[in-house]
Amino acid sequence: MRYFVAVAEELHFGRAATRLHMSQPPLSRAIKQLEADVGALLFTRSPTGVTLTAVGSVLLDEARALLEHADRVRVRVSAAVGAASITIGILGDGTDPGVARLAAAYRRNRPGTDIRVRDTDLTDPTCGLRAGLVDVALTRAPFDETALTVRELRTDPVGVVLRADDPLARRDGLRLAELDGRRWFQFPQDTDPLWQSYWSGGRPREGPVVRAVQECLQAVLWNGTVGLAPLGHDLPAELTVVPLTDMKPSRVVAVWNEGDTNPLIRSFVEIATTAYRH
């Protein structure tokens, strides 16, 4: 709804993206998804900008009221709880042992903090940060870092995920060129292009579109699709990961909005930096 209101008030996707401190493709994708949910076009698009449709005008009034109400609820709940709170976005990768270490360390260091976690899929590497859904995100680079602050926590070597009975699964290492001609999993078209390029090995690929880690793994199991994954994470026995010798490591990062002076974010990032170092 915040995305929709921004576009409706700016009547231009580019200006709305700037206002939201985000790139335009994920904004366009979000509006298309909202239109699909509503079942009607909300904007009439032209090269010079957009105009609201009749349905969009009705939704704008309701969206503003909903957002105002949500803000009031947030303030009243925080006051009732009487405790500081922080919302953490985590990319859909629950097998990373660094997350468990960080959770334990944060509980020890900030026992009075109300911690909320938002698990996100692979189509938004910033985990809802730009939309104001989280205060800080634990994710993987690269992605569009415009108006964001990024702290590197760790780097992981990357391998190719294969079915255990795949002939290439017996290899000790592979190069990206050896996977040419194979079908890869890929992300939706409007996904951040830097993120998309990295996980497709730097070139366009063909294969099933996925949005979550489990969808990636199922694509390999059912279709023999290949794709990339960090090394060292648990996988089903039917799958294996072969190291890629010419692939840049994957960067685990903490990211938050540039200029956000919330002290809880600062302490979270410092604790995360220590937890991921071990």
- Which tens digit of pLDDT belongs to each residue from 22-59? 778 889 999 999 999 999 999 999 888 899 999 999 99
Tell me what the mean pLDDT of segment 118-139 comes to: 91
Query: For the domain that residue 52 is a member of, what is the CATH number?
Result: 1.10.10.10
Q: What is the pLDDT at residue 94?
A: 58
Where does the pLDDT of residue 75 fall: very low under 50, low under 70, confident under 90, or very high at 90 and above? low
pLDDT in tens, 212-271: 888 888 999 998 898 899 988 778 889 999 999 999 999 999 999 988 888 899 999 999
242 and 171 within one domain = yes
Query: Do residues 123 and 259 share a domain?
Result: yes
Number of domains in the chain: 3
* Statement to judge: residues 149 and 258 lie in one domain: yes
Q: Note whether 97 and 122 are same-domain residues.
A: yes
pTM for the structure as a whole: 0.71
pLDDT, the chain, mean: 88
166 and 241, same structural domain? yes
For position 83, what pLDDT does the model report? 57
Q: Which DSSP helix (H) or strand (E) runs through 18?
A: helix 13-19
- The helix (run of H) or strand (run of E) holding residue 141 is strand 136-141
Question: Are residues 74 and 8 part of one domain?
Answer: yes
Q: Please, what's the b/e burial string for 71-108 (b: 16 or more CB within 10 A of its CB; e: otherwise)?
A: eeeeeeeeeeeeeeebbbbbbbbeebebbebbeebbee
Q: Based on the domain organization, do 240 and 135 belong to the same domain?
A: no
